[in-house]
Amino acid sequence: MENQEENQVESFDSAAAESVGQAEEPVNPPEPGTPEPAGERRGFIKFLCAFIGTLISAVPFGAGVWSYFDPLAKRNKGGGGGDGFVMVTTLDAIAADGSPAKFSVVADKVDAWNRFSNVSIGAVYLRLVDGVPKALHTVCPHLGCFVDYRPGNGDFFCPCHNSNFRLDGGIVDGVSPRAMDSLQIEVRNKTEVWVKFQNFRPGHSHPVPVS
């Protein structure tokens, strides 16, 4: 009888040891009527419990995590036509004095289950330099706030962390890691201004397109 009790206690110790290190004597040991089965079998059952328990718990988590990673499998298709260029405005709409103005970029947009046609997908600053249009992204390369144009100061200013940019996008001062992102621009059919609109990752010293 004594041996059996010892055996019992030892078995509990090893069980608890697996889960929390070391166990004390159980509070209410059962009254044993027959001897405990061999320790090896118990060990195997405990292993199976842990194994199956982990396996079945992993099923819902696995399915959840798998679908949670869905965005990583999706690519940014961008807006506009096949070449990524979007018609933004005409040359006549850009101020002749070289001051920049904000223009909305209107294109088709896929937003999860919705596919919108002709909606604003962002904005650009356009200005004329010697009659040639130049385009800058309106988003600050630092952390993505919308950069303001300040006509009084003749510069761009990010209201979030006070970065300051020249009209050509170059850094005056502040924390931005790079100049404002310039975008490819083309004049088609003599007056149409087309911009290759794309977003860039913030925080890099060089523009890296968001894919």
Cβ nearer to other proteins, comparing 1 with 27:
27
**With contact defined as beta carbons under 8 Å apart, do 187 and 194 qualify?**
yes
Cβ nearer to other proteins, comparing 110 with 187:
110
Binding status of residue 1 toward other proteins by CB under 8 A: no
Q: How far is the CB of 11 from other proteins (least distance, A)?
A: 9
Q: How far is the CB of 103 from other proteins (least distance, A)?
A: 24
- Choose which of 39, 53, 170, 203 interacts with other proteins (CB under 8 A): 53
The residues of the shown chain that bind other proteins, judged by CB under 8 A, are: 12, 15-16, 19-24, 26-34, 42, 45-46, 48-49, 52-53, 55-57, 59-61, 63-70, 73, 110, 112-117
